[in-house]
Amino acid sequence: MQATTQDEHLLIPDSMVSGQISRIRLLTGLIQGFALYGLYQAGINTVWPATQPYVFVPLLMVMIFAPVIFVSSLGHLKAGVIFRWITLVCVIVAGLVVYDVWRVGFIEYANNDTHLYPSPLLAFYLAIGLYIAHALIFSAASDNQFIARYATYFEVAWKLGIQIIFAGFFVGILWAVLFLGAGLFSLVKLDFLEKLLQKAWFSIPVSVFAFSFALHITDVRPGIVRGIRTLLLVLMSWLLPVVTLMATGFIASLPFTGLEPLWATRNATAVLLGTSAVLIILINTAYQNGEVSSQLARVIRLTARLAALLLVPLILIAIYSLALRVMQYGWSTDRIIAASCLLVGSCYAAGYAWAATEKRVWLHRISPTNVTAAFLVLAILLALFTPLADPARISVNSQVNRLLEGKVKPADFDYDYLKFDGARYGMQALAMLKETWKGEDVVLLREKVDATHNKKSRWDKELTVDVKRSIHNITVWPAGTKLPVSFTDQSWDKTQSTWQMPDCMKMTGDQCDAFVLDFNLDNKPDILIIGKERYMQPQLFMEQADKQWKLMGSYSGTNDQCQHNLFDALKSNAFKLAEPSVRDIHVGGRKFRFVPWQENIYDCSDQ
């Protein structure tokens, strides 16, 4: 009964979000739609304000987020609170975006590029940060205190989340209906609706207006939102025992398997973080507002307590996994973001374990843990997207220091990372290395820096295939064997598209192994090239009748571990060549090759 009373205390009567407020909300959506259309037109036509990225990009992001928060606040927050909150949102969004333009857009604008958009990471995390901050502000205003009751945070956060999800769903359904109508009219040769849907002046305002309309409808019908939320939480809470059982089995198996198989996946930290996040979400679907324990099944209460304890070993293993990668390869943007997630995960793990040890009440300490974690997330996001803890700045310093300290050689250094992931800091580091490097590989380093400067994207490879120049990249097997002279001297640019060729034949820093063996049993040597990184399939070269070498194809159906097995077998001559199980079909001089279905692509065991 107490929970019901608190829920009703948080409800806003329909009358408070109707009439004039309804019209203001819909008008706001309409104005936002046409404003975004105007910015879109400015961007594609390169007219002001699109000619000033420090004006255009912040204005674009403010117009995306601020009206949504304004619509959500109307009818619930006082006018003064709304004004101060929207002003703060505009200042924070504009400030973060200006810095983003300075650090990331510098490269594009310096090349007169017209990509007037913020980095995807900033846009994504801005949405998350503003959602969390809006829920905190909304709840504090509702309870008229800086730290609201946890029941208020729960009600507000879930309501806002469901509103946003269903508003997006409504927009999608609207467009499905519009396209259906266009299809109907096209049956009778009327294409006016189809052409209308392709017009930006129609599609942008309609989509934004529909989103605001859906936010308003879900706000004036709180009972519907609460019913959806209750059903969703009940269903999701029954997934908790399943995930907890799997996590328990995983941790219990580690003493027998060890951690080596975990490290071999090369994505252990991401998987462990994902598992921890799922456990945290499912624990909260059971915990809800902290006052429903008497209504839960005993199995859910027990597994929630166990899951809260399991977070500790999962987070500790993830921290250890990340630490190993950092010690081996230094910091990168992804690893810094993972470290930030682990910091938040550590907060949850410590708080939830603390809650699980409380015997008199069921997980009551989850409430302060969740609130603390919400503020921690906001603090971390502000640090990551400002100079304070910019992942680009930190990772560039880390990678350059590894080069300066001799932990990585200039021939093996990832110069592309500095330009395409290091933002302004990476470009500055490239210039510094070119000017100040005094090592023995100074000529090679300057060539690599110049080649990186000339690239438009990190996927642009040096198009000139010169095996003689890149011969030091290739380790030839069997030991003591050399590549045929006709292979190293060949002018490859005239024989085959260079994008098909192994990177080690084009890039001075990419390493590979070459096995000189007779693969087709014609008593002539063939060459199988396997990249060191194992991300490309092994590629087979054969000499043709005209003495020209040709890339014939690759051995498919192998993952990283399978390629390691293949490399070891070739190196030790522990392999055999097999006849095809199904013959090719020849029709009129054309060959149709049979390509078997790879059923066990990830199974590298002996069959």
pLDDT of 146 above 80: yes
Distance in angstroms (rounded) separating the CA atoms of residues 530 and 254:
32
Confidence band (pLDDT; 50, 70, 90) for 509?
A: low
What CA–CA distance (Å, rounded) separates 603 from 28? 56
pLDDT at 564: 67
What pLDDT, in 10s, does the model give residues 200-224? 999 999 999 999 999 999 888 878 8
Q: How large is the average pLDDT for residues 53-82? A: 94
pLDDT tens per residue, range 426-450: 999 999 999 999 877 888 898 889 8
What pLDDT is recorded for position 207?
97
pLDDT at 113 over 50: no
Average pLDDT, the chain: 86
* Backbone Cα Rg of the chain: 30
Write the pLDDT tens digit of every residue in 351-372.
999 999 988 889 999 999 999 9
Interval 407-421 mean pLDDT? 90
pLDDT tens-digit readout, 84-96: 999 999 999 999 9
Range of weakest confidence among 97-111, 359-373, 415-429:
97-111
Task: Show Cβ contacts of residue 443 under 8 Å, excluding neighbours closer than 6 positions.
Answer: none
pLDDT above 80 (res 327): yes
pTM, 2 dp? 0.77
pLDDT at 11: 41
pLDDT digits (tens, 9 = 90+) for 176-195: 999 999 999 999 999 999 99
**Sheet of strand 549-554, all strands in order from the earlier edge strand to the far edge:** 474-477, 512-517, 526-531, 539-543, 549-554
Per residue, the 3-state secondary structure of 67-135, as one string, reads HHHHHHHCCCCCHHHHHHHHHHHHHHHHHHHHHHHHHHHHHHHHCCCCCCCCCHHHHHHHHHHHHHHHH
